[in-house]
Amino acid sequence: MNNNTTFASLALAEPLLRAIKDSGYTTPTPIQAQAIPHVLLGGDVLAAAQTGTGKTAGFTLPILHQLLTKPLQKMVAGRPRALILAPTRELAAQVEESVRLYSKHTKIRSLVIFGGVNINPQINALRQPIDIVVATPGRLLDHVGQKNIDLSGVETLVLDEADRMLDMGFIRDIRRILKLIPEQRQSLLFSATFSEEIRALAKSSLRDPIEISVAPRNTTSELITQEMVQTEQRHKRDLVSHIIRQSGWHQVLVFCRTKHGANRLAEKLSKDGLSAAALHGNKSQAARTRALTGFKSGKVAVLVATDIAARGLDIDQLPYVINFELPQVAEDYVHRIGRTGRAGSEGRAISLVDSSETRLLKAIERLIKRPISPIEIEGFVPPEPSAEAAEKPTAPNRDRRSAPARNNNRRSGSSSGSQSRSGQRSRRSSGAAPSNI
């Protein structure tokens, strides 16, 4: 990338440049500087980018430019020109928020549709002309089945976090959607990794794509200080509480493996006087939205989440991430701590590791090709065993996630739609049940 590259030099439309300036951005990130020109040329793109590199703007900005410079004479209700697929509700909402941010000085209209919420407002919105739809696969196919949306006018398709969609078992839904959109289209596939499955998907959905990769696979940002604390599983809740209260941290994202564990930790932190909320797949969409909104605004100091948030959270200058438990899949560690150290800001990631998690720690260190520095937490005194006698310690080396809950509405977006298929396709090496995503 040329160090002198600016958004203006990328020849984006003036209303978009105004919105970018309003947002305080001046220089494109490497993925933006490389992807935007190729998308503007109209070709297909296969891009891999480290989390937190600004890839969303890398496809939203050129799509908006194309819609502005190639307007239709007549728009049709429920017939979008651009379709962006995302694996989770949170990520879909985040992408559509970016679309609205950059299109605020234009008349371009966008809509986000996902499951877990009342479908009727989405139906009403689709009765109006829409330029861009951002959707989770399951709920999109619900609308297709009810004839609320017509995909025959899609000019540009984006598969965002494609590897995550495959992990969650959406491949059949994606193939169904591909058959519903015109063959003559521009296709953009963005993924954290170029696995064999991703390349197979790219081969079937992209035509002679330009391949872009701005960072080595599974690398972590140098702006993130990575540390670990050796402790016992039964002391972890007290230790997390001590770290946050002693340090005076006001915005901390804590990752747990299970929904039950996230609930218990959030309750513990709340009892200790911290404003905390849990975020996981069993929460209603309204509760998830409240938790995220509170966390982003600062009303909630600690968000305790399962891996639903590993790729769907975009919070400016999030300073701290704590791994209450190490993930079963080493790649998820990269996505978890990638929530901090974004957009040039420094971050800190602390992992709590007990003896049964040593193999997981070693796997992570092999993946990121660097050791994680051990530290001691000043002033922490574990409680007496008698004080915890009533509590059974969690076995961190076992995947205690429950089986997917039965769902009468088979398609309800990323957390409920396609769960029957997701249950059949477990996450790589983890045995994770999709109801925990």
Question: How does DSSP assign 69-84, residue by residue?
Answer: HS--SS--BT--SEEE
The confidence score (pLDDT) of residue 326 equals 96
The confidence score (pLDDT) of residue 312 equals 63
CA distance 110 to 131: 6
CA distance 322 to 96: 28
Q: Helices (H), strands (E): how many in the chain? A: 15, 14
- Give pLDDT tens digits along the chain (437 positions): 455 788 989 989 999 999 999 988 888 988 999 999 999 999 999 998 766 678 899 999 999 999 999 877 788 899 999 999 999 888 899 899 999 999 999 999 999 999 989 999 999 999 999 999 999 999 999 999 999 999 999 999 999 988 888 888 899 999 999 999 999 999 999 987 777 888 899 999 999 999 998 765 656 677 889 999 999 999 999 999 999 999 999 899 999 999 999 999 999 999 999 999 999 878 888 888 899 889 988 899 999 999 876 566 667 678 999 999 999 888 889 888 888 876 667 889 999 999 999 999 999 999 889 999 999 998 898 887 654 444 544 444 444 333 333 343 434 444 334 333 334 433 443 333 333 33
Whether residue 380 is contained in a domain is answered as yes
Whether residue 55 is contained in a domain is answered as yes
> What tokens does 326 get?
């190490």
Last residue of a domain, one of 185, 213, 241: 213
Does residue 303 sit in the same domain as residue 357? yes
Does residue 56 sit in the same domain as residue 107? yes
The confidence score (pLDDT) of residue 425 equals 39
Does residue 236 sit in the same domain as residue 192? no
CA distance 334 to 337: 6
CA distance 143 to 126: 9
The confidence score (pLDDT) of residue 303 equals 95
Number of C-beta neighbours around residue 70 at 10 A: 10
Does residue 94 sit in the same domain as residue 207? yes
Q: Name residues whose C-beta falls within 8 Å of residue 161's C-beta, 6 or more positions apart in sequence.
A: 86, 87, 91, 190, 191, 192, 311
Whether residue 409 is contained in a domain is answered as no
Helix axes 89-102, 285-297, angle to 10 degrees: 50
> What tokens does 417 get?
């739609």
The answer to whether the beta carbons of residues 133 and 111 sit under 8 Å apart is: yes
The confidence score (pLDDT) of residue 58 equals 94
CA distance 198 to 166: 8
Does residue 188 sit in the same domain as residue 272? no
Q: Name residues whose C-beta falls within 8 Å of residue 11's C-beta, 6 or more positions apart in sequence.
A: 40
Count of alpha carbons within 13 angstroms of residue 362, beta-carbon side: 5
Whether residue 329 is contained in a domain is answered as yes
> What tokens does 176 get?
């169904």
The confidence score (pLDDT) of residue 116 equals 86
The confidence score (pLDDT) of residue 316 equals 67
Does residue 83 sit in the same domain as residue 161? yes
Q: Name residues whose C-beta falls within 8 Å of residue 107's C-beta, 6 or more positions apart in sequence.
A: none
Reduce the DSSP state of residue 309 to 3 states and report it.
Answer: helix
Does residue 278 sit in the same domain as residue 166? no
Whether residue 426 is contained in a domain is answered as no
| Residue whose tokens read 């939203």 | 60
The answer to whether the beta carbons of residues 312 and 94 sit under 8 Å apart is: yes
Does residue 86 sit in the same domain as residue 116? yes
0.85 exceeded by the pTM?
no
CA distance 33 to 221: 19
Reduce the DSSP state of residue 199 to 3 states and report it.
Answer: helix
Does residue 181 sit in the same domain as residue 244? no
Whether residue 2 is contained in a domain is answered as no
Single out the residue of 326, 284, 328, 278 nearest to residue 305, CA to CA.
278
Whether residue 54 is contained in a domain is answered as yes
The confidence score (pLDDT) of residue 419 equals 38
The answer to whether the beta carbons of residues 231 and 352 sit under 8 Å apart is: yes
Last residue of a domain, one of 213, 234, 253: 213
Number of domains in the chain: 2
The confidence score (pLDDT) of residue 413 equals 41
Does residue 230 sit in the same domain as residue 190? no
The answer to whether the beta carbons of residues 201 and 192 sit under 8 Å apart is: no
Reduce the DSSP state of residue 178 to 3 states and report it.
Answer: helix
Beta bridge partners of 265: none
| Residue whose tokens read 């496809």 | 59
Reduce the DSSP state of residue 312 to 3 states and report it.
Answer: coil
Range of the domain at 35: 8-213
CATH number assigned to the domain comprising residue 265: 3.40.50.300
Reduce the DSSP state of residue 323 to 3 states and report it.
Answer: strand
CA distance 167 to 230: 31
User: What is the C-alpha end-to-end distance of the chain, expressed in Å?
Assistant: 36
Number of C-beta neighbours around residue 298 at 10 A: 10
The confidence score (pLDDT) of residue 12 equals 94
Does residue 58 sit in the same domain as residue 205? yes
> What tokens does 58 get?
């890398």
CA distance 124 to 104: 22
The confidence score (pLDDT) of residue 222 equals 76
Last residue of a domain, one of 192, 213, 234: 213
Whether residue 218 is contained in a domain is answered as no
| DSSP state for residue 361 in the 8-state scheme | H
Does residue 131 sit in the same domain as residue 255? no
Q: Which strands, in side-by-side order, build the sheet including 373-374?
A: 276-279, 302-305, 252-255, 320-323, 347-353, 224-230, 373-374
